[in-house]
Amino acid sequence: MKAHRALLFTGVVYLLAWFLPSARVEVWLDTVVAHGWDATLVALTPRDAPVALQILMFTSGLTNVLFIAAGVLAWVRPHRVSRGLEWAVWVAALVNTHWFVIPAVDRSELRAGYYLWVLSFLLLGATLHRMRAASTAKASQPAEA
């Protein structure tokens, strides 16, 4: 099962991102290098930022819930992978790139964990696409007699 291997690889990249340094962040008037889980907690509790950035930060933190749910669903019920789920993961990847794209964030403060984290969303999107395409192709084949 190539799909399960791809999901497993994606999960390893995602977990690795949680333990590697992700970004330098300000916490209590101090700048520290945050690991993935710390960066997620910072994103889920935004402070001292414009409202639009706070919304992006919080949404970015929530994408982790989508990643885990989509990965578990794809692992347990690969035939249930829908186009909507696939697109939700692609949109989550796009949302997560805001840390790299918007001028309010200094790119030099991003670390390897961040890039692996975004990569894991792209890998999951590609894996879900392959799974859905394989499922669709299998369903459209005529039944053998």
Per-10-residue mean pLDDT for the chain, 145 residues long? 90 95 74 81 84 91 97 94 96 92 79 95 97 82 63
19: containing domain: 2-135
Q: Domain count for the chain, please give it.
A: 1
Residues 6+ apart with CB under 8 A from 121: 63, 67, 89, 92, 93, 96
The C-alpha atoms of residue 127 and residue 94 are separated, in whole angstroms, by 16
Q: Is residue 141 assigned to a domain?
A: no
pLDDT reported for residue 99: 83
Would the pTM of this model clear 0.85, i.e. be above it? yes
Q: Is residue 72 assigned to a domain?
A: yes
